[in-house]
Amino acid sequence: MTILFYDLVGEDPSRPFSPHCWKTRMALAHKRLDYSRRPTRFLELSQVEGGRSKLLPILRDGETVVSDSFSIALYLEEKYGNQPTLFAGEGGMVTARFIEAWAEATLYPYINTVTAVDLLSLQAGKNAEYFRASREQIMAQRLEDVVQSRESNLMAFRAALQPLRTVLTNQHYLGGTQPLYVDYIIFGAFQLARIASDYQMLGDDDPVAKWFDRCLDLFDGLGRTVDAASDRTRLSTP
């Protein structure tokens, strides 16, 4: 039976933007698993698998339903142990847990600032109303005001990436010579920014930017199947 993957989208079902869903897409590709993707909008979540989770991704594999990107990765690693490993052992799993926490504390606060208004523009109708209301409640200010701080905080964000930069100067992937789930954790965050916003957070010569390009090329260019916001902006500019 084909795996069913619920993927968060906005008005356009062909432009999935959730960083956590991208982790799962990359994990499924890494495991060489066939799956059926079901685009799902914010206000459709209550209808997904009996409303078992308020967040995506959600995965159904036969009779098994798993939510949360890391839990899904653990499930795939155990269930499909004969396929390429996502963690390369317990040490890799623990490291991935650390990187997940690091990304939540270091990457997302700034990326959420950069993309606040852009993500709103990807929504429509009631979903746009929900997105604005829920995000403004979390951020305690209007989305348009949130974005105003992205320029003043850019250099601090780039400086915070130095641990990644140091590692990626000496190896192709965080996983070593080949990517592991730890790469997909960070990839998801930058993929969100790439799809949602044309704001340039990284310099072209940054080792992190070069690593991200390598990740975009993985699995026959899976990450590039969704256009970057900057590409769409250039195409729509007279």
pLDDT per residue over 178-220, tens digit each?
Answer: 999 999 999 999 999 999 999 999 999 999 999 999 999 999 9
Shared domain check, 213 and 96: yes
Same domain, 150 and 213: yes
User: Has residue 122 been placed in a domain?
Assistant: yes
pLDDT at 234 over 60: no
3-class SS of residue 45: helix
Same-domain pairing of 163 and 196: yes
pLDDT band with cut points at 50, 70 and 90 for residue 233? low
Boundary residue ending a domain (27, 50, 79): 79
Contact 147/116 with Cβ under 8 angstroms? Answer: yes
Of 44, 79, 114, the last residue of a domain is: 79
Backbone angles phi, psi at 233, to 5 degrees: -65, -45
- Determine the pLDDT at residue 3: 97
Contact 131, 123 (CB under 8 A): yes
Query: Same structural domain for residues 12 and 31?
Result: yes
Domains held by the chain: number: 2
Q: Is residue 198 part of a domain?
A: yes
Residues 73 and 98 in one domain: no
Residue 237: inside a domain: no
The answer to whether residue 235 sits within a structural domain is no
Residue that terminates a domain, selected from 48, 79, 110: 79
Do 70 and 109 fall within a single domain?
A: no
- % residues pLDDT > 90 (the chain): 94
Residue 231 has what pLDDT? 83
Instruction: List pLDDT tens digits, range 149-186.
Output: 999 999 999 999 999 999 999 999 999 999 999 999 99
Q: Are 233 and 199 in contact (CB under 8 A)?
A: no
Examine residue 177 and state whether it is found in any structural domain, yes or no.
yes
Question: Residue 217: its pLDDT value, please?
Answer: 98
Distance CA 45, CA 48 (A): 5
Give a yes or no: residue 218 inside a domain.
Answer: yes
Dihedral, 60, 79, 173, 219 alpha carbons, nearest 10: -60
Q: Is the pLDDT of residue 225 over 70?
A: yes
CATH number at residue 33: 3.40.30.10
Same-domain pairing of 161 and 133: yes
Range 28-51 average pLDDT: 96
Please indicate, yes or no, whether residues 23 and 118 belong to a single structural domain of this protein: no
Domain presence at residue 126: yes
116 & 28 share domain: no
Tens digit of each residue's pLDDT (9 = 90 or more) over 91-136: 999 999 999 999 999 999 999 999 999 999 999 999 999 999 999 9
Q: State the first-to-last Cα distance of the chain, in angstroms, to the nearest integer.
A: 48
The answer for 6, left when phi > 0, alpha when psi is -120 to 50, beta otherwise, is beta
Q: What is the pTM of this model?
A: 0.95
Residue 123 sits in a domain whose CATH number is 1.20.1050.10
Based on the domain organization, do 108 and 209 belong to the same domain?
A: yes
Q: Which domain holds residue 11?
A: 3-79
